[in-house]
């Protein structure tokens, strides 16, 4: 620009037309700028081809920087496309249905498996609320109540034979990731196992009744039996009774696993139920323990009376069986602002901490000999766990070896009624 001004001044001075040459130089300069601006505007508007090359003065620098930015942009775009391609291939290869949802449940994105398993169609269903497309009540309640800690199982809306297990994970900014797996095989296996246990227990009942009948007949003619035969007879009776208890407990467990949940509207008068259970426990203890009952008289629970009786009795009877003579057993039924509690504490043998997480497994015993000797089946706490699950309750176990144990069932206040 300085060179142009000097040249214009020189030519103007020589020809005596300084103003004219200055005007000419300024106009030329402006036109050159306008040309560059025009090239730039055209390139920006069409967005095609490489940025304008060459140029003079500041424009060569502008064009050069643009060129660099563009190359950088292309490289990034290529990398992003590769990532996107890889992500698409990965999600397409994934056997699990994957859906990205907004917190309101609107579908943002889903993979091919989600199309197959949940019946979502692309792009038609993007933006739709998932509960309008997957309408199973279990799934709808799960999303509405945001119970994301555990998975939810429901049949596929496309194929009723397919059982899906879905998990939702909140992530990023108000987004949810839904992953659904096909668990049909696992489900069938679980059903086969349940049916097998139920059938075996059921089949064992008849021969067991026959055996017990004959044993009773023999008992009637005890006067004809020798001392040795009588001892054998008692042993056989004891074992037959034990087997009967195992079969009964297994059948009860099968029923708890397969039955519909207990009716919520049935009111169970827990205090009077506990009166009966503690009376039975006192009979079993035969004066060897102090058994105290402390129950809130107006506090009732809604649920299945028979199964609750079974669960509570198992806990109280366990306390008697695992507490040495002279011990104290305390049975409590009360509520606070958070929950209602059924609690059994004893001053018994206690349980080492590493056993506690496994106590509710079937046939898990800390001391097999003691369990058998006191008439245990190893199924009592498994029954307790199932009954509590069916009442949306859970079991808490605190114990110290040699000092005693506290078994507490936590019931939601929603299931309690006050009279
Ligand atoms: P079992 O019929 O063997 O008692 P349960 O399922 O009722 O089976 O209990 C599992 C195991 O838990 C028992 O074998 C026993 O070792 C332990 N247990 C249960 N209740 C108590 C208790 N009150 N004190 C100490 N140990 C207990």
pLDDT digits (tens, 9 = 90+) for 36-49: 888 888 887 876 67
List the structure tokens of 303.
Answer: 């649920």
Q: Does residue 180 line the site of ligand 1, with CB under 6 A?
A: no
pLDDT digit string (tens) for 259-309? 877 777 789 999 999 999 999 999 999 999 999 999 999 999 999 999 999
Query: Given CA atoms 272, 321, 378, 362 in this order, what sign does their dihedral have?
Result: positive
Q: Does residue 371 line the site of ligand 1, with CB under 6 A?
A: yes
Q: Does residue 322 line the site of ligand 1, with CB under 6 A?
A: yes
Ligand 1 centre and the CA of 376: distance in Å? 8
User: Percentage of the chain with pLDDT > 90?
Assistant: 66
Q: What is the SS3 assignment for 17?
A: coil
Average pLDDT, the chain: 91
Q: How far apart are CA 394 and CA 34, in angstroms?
A: 80
Mutate which of 249, 318, 319, 374 for ligand 1? The one with the most ligand atoms within 8 Å of its CB, which is: 318
Q: Are 161 and 221 in contact (CB under 8 A)?
A: no
pTM over 0.75: no
Alpha-helix runs per DSSP H in 221-295: 227-258, 270-285
What fold is seen in the domain 186-258?
A: Helix Hairpins (1.10.287)
The whole-number pLDDT of residue 78 equals 95
Whether the domain at 186-258 and the domain at 266-418 fall into the same CATH topology:
no
Contacts of 133 (CB under 8 A, 6+ apart): 107, 118, 119, 120, 125, 157
Query: Given CA atoms 104, 109, 113, 116 in this order, what sign does their dihedral have?
Result: positive
Contacts of 245 (CB under 8 A, 6+ apart): 375, 377
Average pLDDT over residues 383-389: 96
C-alpha of 368 from chain center? 33
Ligand 1 centre and the CA of 313: distance in Å? 13
Alpha-helix runs per DSSP H in 259-398: 270-285, 305-321, 368-373, 380-390
Q: Which of 387, 386, 366 is nearest to 378 (CA)?
A: 366
Q: Are 260 and 234 in contact (CB under 8 A)?
A: no
Q: How far apart are CA 120 and CA 173, in angstroms?
A: 24
Mutate which of 246, 371, 382, 383 for ligand 1? The one with the most ligand atoms within 8 Å of its CB, which is: 371
Ligand 1 centre and the CA of 336: distance in Å? 28
Average pLDDT over residues 17-30: 90
Looking at the domain covering 266-418, what would its CATH class be?
A: alpha beta
Residue 221: pLDDT band by 50, 70, 90 thresholds? confident
Q: Does residue 319 line the site of ligand 1, with CB under 6 A?
A: yes
Ligand 1 centre and the CA of 287: distance in Å? 21
Q: How far apart are CA 37 and CA 39, in angstroms?
A: 5
pLDDT digit string (tens) for 239-258? 999 999 999 999 999 999 88
Ligand 1 centre and the CA of 189: distance in Å? 29
Q: Are 120 and 132 in contact (CB under 8 A)?
A: no
Burial class (CB in 10 A: 0-12, 13-18, 19+), 151: middle
Q: How far apart are CA 417 and CA 419, in angstroms?
A: 7
Q: Among all chains, which residue has been given the structure tokens 């008692």?
A: 234
Ligand 1 centre and the CA of 247: distance in Å? 18
Closest residue by CA, ligand 1 atom 3: 378
Query: What radius of gyration do the chain's Cα atoms show?
Result: 40
Q: Does residue 376 line the site of ligand 1, with CB under 6 A?
A: yes
List the structure tokens of 261.
Answer: 């949940």
- Ligand 1 atom with minimal separation from the 372 CA: 3
Ligand 1 centre and the CA of 318: distance in Å? 6
Contacts of 110 (CB under 8 A, 6+ apart): 97, 98, 99, 100, 118, 120, 122, 125, 126
Q: How far apart are CA 330 and CA 295, in angstroms?
A: 11
Q: Does residue 310 line the site of ligand 1, with CB under 6 A?
A: no
Closest residue by CA, ligand 1 atom 14: 365
Q: How far apart are CA 133 and CA 128, in angstroms?
A: 8
Element (H, E) at 3: helix 2-15
Residue spans per domain, the chain: 1-47, 50-88, 94-182, 186-258, 266-418
**168-204 in b/e burial notation, b at 16+ Cβ within 10 A?**
beeeeeeebebbbbbbbeebeeeeeeeeebbeebeeb
Q: Does residue 359 line the site of ligand 1, with CB under 6 A?
A: yes
Q: Does residue 345 line the site of ligand 1, with CB under 6 A?
A: no
- If one looks up domain 94-182 in CATH, what number appears? 3.30.450.20
- Ligand 1 atom with minimal separation from the 364 CA: 10
Ligand 1 centre and the CA of 272: distance in Å? 25
């Amino acid at each position: 620009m300085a060179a142009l001004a000097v040249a214009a001044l020189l030519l103007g001075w020589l020809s005596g037309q300084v103003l004219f040459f200055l005007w000419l130089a300024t106009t030329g300069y402006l036109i050159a700028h306008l040309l560059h601006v025009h090239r730039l505007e055209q390139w920006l508007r069409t967005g095609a081809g490489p940025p304008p090359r060459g140029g003079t003065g500041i424009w060569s620098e502008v064009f050069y920087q643009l060129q660099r930015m563009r190359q950088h942009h292309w490289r990034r775009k290529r990398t992003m496309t590769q990532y996107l391609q890889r992500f698409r291939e990965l999600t397409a290869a994934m056997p699990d249905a994957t859906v990205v949802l907004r917190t309101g449940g609107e579908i943002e994105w889903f993979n091919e498996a989600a199309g197959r398993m949940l019946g979502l169609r692309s792009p038609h269903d993007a933006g739709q609320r998932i509960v309008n497309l997957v309408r199973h009540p279990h799934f709808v309640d799960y999303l509405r109540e945001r119970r994301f800690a555990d998975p939810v199982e429901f049949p596929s809306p496309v194929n009723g034979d397919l059982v899906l297990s879905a998990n939702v994970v909140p992530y990023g900014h108000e987004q949810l990731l839904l992953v659904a797996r096909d668990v049909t095989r696992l489900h069938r296996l679980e059903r086969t196992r349940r049916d097998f246990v139920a059938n075996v227990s059921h089949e064992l009942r008849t021969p067991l009744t026959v055996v017990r009948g004959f044993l009773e007949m023999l008992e009637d003619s005890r006067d004809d039996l020798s001392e040795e035969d009588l001892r054998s007879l008692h042993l056989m009776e004891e074992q037959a009774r034990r087997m009967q208890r195992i079969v009964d407990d297994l059948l009860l467990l099968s029923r708890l696993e397969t039955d519909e949940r207990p009716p919520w509207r049935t009111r169970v008068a827990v205090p009077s139920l506990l009166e009966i259970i503690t009376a039975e426990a006192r009979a079993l203890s035969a004066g060897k323990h102090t058994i105290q009952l402390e129950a809130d008289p107006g506090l009732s629970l809604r649920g299945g009376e028979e199964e609750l009786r079974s669960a509570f009795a198992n806990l109280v009877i366990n306390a008697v069986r695992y507490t040495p003579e002279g011990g104290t057993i305390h049975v409590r039924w009360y509520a606070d602002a958070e929950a209602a509690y059924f609690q059994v504490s004893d001053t018994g043998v206690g349980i080492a901490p590493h056993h506690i997480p496994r106590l509710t497994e079937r046939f898990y015993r800390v001391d097999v000999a003691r369990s058998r000797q006191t008439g245990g089946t190893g199924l009592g706490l498994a029954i307790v766990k199932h009954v509590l699950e069916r009442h949306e309750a859970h079991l808490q176990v605190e114990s110290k070896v040699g000092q005693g144990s506290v078994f507490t069932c936590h019931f939601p206040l929603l299931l309690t009624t006050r009279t």
